Structure 1
Amino acid sequence: MQDEVGVKRKLGEIQDEVLYPGVNSVNTFNTKVFRLPTRTVNLELMLGLPSKEGLTISSEISILYRINPEQAPEILRQIGPNYEQSLILPVFRSASADVCARYFAKDMHSAQRSAIEQAIAARMMEVVEERGFVIESVLMKSISLPPGLARAIEMKLEAEQESQRMQFVLQQERQEADRRIIAAEADRQIVQIQAEGRRDAKLIDAGATAEATKIEAAGTQEANEMLSDSLDARVLEFLGIEAFRELAQSPNTKVVITDGEGMLLDTR
């Protein structure tokens, strides 16, 4: 068959020749051919595994292995055709007991299971590889914990999930509190900015009013100075003549006092 190799036993002695799939000549009178599968073999069994706390954990195990075709004659010569019972199973029991005893029962029921499987396979390879076998993987397909322990693990997982849920809720509350603090600070800053804006506006208005008053006073003063400068002697003389004219037309008797040069000083 395509997934097998053959090994001759001639006159009771295992031959070194490996018969691969194809046409091979064999003298059936003095030669027997042993067939060994080269495909991956799935060896299944139920086994009690020890735990670190001293419990025995029932588990359904699959051991996936294959032989090295080139070492088929040596396998038959040293181990025999019943190599599963003679080698694979004893090595597995020893390796699994050694590895599982380092783990708690709950670890076999958690994410640690993969690490346990890999450790058992590696420990087996240390023994069987030189004998012509390759351990591809060890699979712990089911784990049966004692009822009390199973319930305790479930309660612990539920407590851990509840703790994680509460941590999430607390984190949400903290985020909401932080959001409210930030919003309150932003509102306070807005109010402060508005108050500062109104104060600055009042200061600007007051400054503008004072500046306008100052400018107006300066303008008035400048106008008066200009008017004073413009009132020369001829203007004053003209104004005096106009005043005499009005007095002359008045029907009342008036005493007119001048400065001797025609400038009106007083009337009585």
Structure 2
Amino acid sequence: MFLIVLGTAILLVALFILPNNAQFAGFTNIGRIVGLAFLLIGAATSMFVVVPAGTVAVKSIFGKVEGTPLYSGLNIVNPLVKVTEFDVKTQNYTMSSTHDEGNQQGDDAIRVLSADGLEVVIDLTVLYRVLPTEAPRILKEIGADYQSTIVRPISRTKIRDNAVYYDAVALYSTRRDEFQTRIFNSISKDFKSRGLILEQLLIRNIQLPTSVKASIESKISAEQEAQKMQFVLQKERQEAERKRVEAQGISDYQHIISQSLSDKQLQYEMIKAQKEIATSPNSKIIIMGNAKGAPIILGDK
């Protein structure tokens, strides 16, 4: 566009000013050639527009926006047309309490009031994209800076509007997924009406007041301790049951043995044991006998 304006200016000077000035009249033809060259080069370069992959371009001429976007690739347009590119890939907008982590500098987390009147701090990431066919309408009605105009304020407002239905502890624990689904549906509806598609909503962190957080941690610690004690008691019960069964088994064994053994059986078992000792290769002395007779002494020497 600049070359077209420059070439037109040089051509006008060469046609209407230089011929009337005797001092510069000799440069008239050169001025015409140079002006025409700039004009042609500018027109040629402005006519061909390359739209990168993942983007669409919107044409506007003298403030009027054309309704059909240009898609990725080489496009031929009017040299006077202004082309505005829109990224149609997935984009993210992060609002975080950590410095230099979000799109805004400093603490940009969302502070909301819960149903029980407590202030909760939420870190959030919004994943969205521009609907290619809606890019001309976005440029006409919103402008190219749709992140600051639409994405940021709608996300923050909808989160505050929906947080009032939940207690702080519920947001932090049991109903977090429900809250995320609710704000997703709410934001998605507003985005769609403005030409944006909400792909995903990520609640990255929820910070509770210090006193509430300490109370929750104390409760969790007490519950864990109670569970530990239940485990210990269960283990002791099982050990006591094992010992009872073991004692019962020993008692039953002794009762059976005492009922089945006789004096002759015990004498026979003793003779077998002594015979095994006598036939072993080790040195030994065996004394055999009972109260009624004289003992018999056996040895290998």
| Normalised TM-score (structure 1) | 0.64
Cα offsets for 1:118-160 (capped at 9, x unmatched) = 3322321133224332222222223332221121122122112
Contact (CA 8 Å) 1:117, 1:137: kept in 2 or not? no
Change (3 A) 1:99 1:164: farther
Contact (CA 8 Å) 2:68, 2:133: kept in 1 or not? no
Query: Which residue of 1 is the match for residue 228 of structure 2?
Result: 165
Contact (CA 8 Å) 2:58, 2:68: kept in 1 or not? yes
Change (3 A) 1:105 1:72: same
Aligned-pair Cα RMSD in Å: 2.7
Query: Which residue of 1 is the match for residue 125 of structure 2?
Result: 62
Displacement after TM superposition at 1:111 (Å): 6.3
Query: Which residue of 1 is the match for residue 200 of structure 2?
Result: 137
Change (3 A) 1:197 1:129: farther
Letter of the aligned partner of 1:50 in structure 2? Answer: L
| Normalised TM-score (structure 2) | 0.58
Aligned length in residues = 200
Identity %: 33
Verify: 1:33 aligned to 2:96, yes or no.
no
SS at match of 1:63: strand
Match of 2:148 among 81, 85, 88: 85
Letter of the aligned partner of 1:187 in structure 2? Answer: I
Query: Which residue of 1 is the match for residue 162 of structure 2?
Result: 99
Contact (CA 8 Å) 1:118, 1:137: kept in 2 or not? no
Change (3 A) 1:182 1:43: same
Distance of 1:195 and 1:52 partners within structure 2: 77
Cα offsets for 1:160-213 (capped at 9, x unmatched) = 2212222222222222223223323333443454455469xx9xxxxxxxxxxx
Gaps of 5+ in 2: 1-51, 96-108, 266-301
Displacement after TM superposition at 1:47 (Å): 0.9
Verify: 1:4 aligned to 2:52, yes or no.
no
Displacement after TM superposition at 1:66 (Å): 1.0
Distance of 2:92 and 2:66 partners within structure 1: 28
Distance of 2:53 and 2:68 partners within structure 1: 17
Distance of 2:165 and 2:223 partners within structure 1: 24
Letter of the aligned partner of 2:200 in structure 1? Answer: S
Q: Which has the higher contact order (CA 8 A, sep 6+)?
A: 1
Contact (CA 8 Å) 2:124, 2:203: kept in 1 or not? yes
Letter of the aligned partner of 2:58 in structure 1? Answer: V
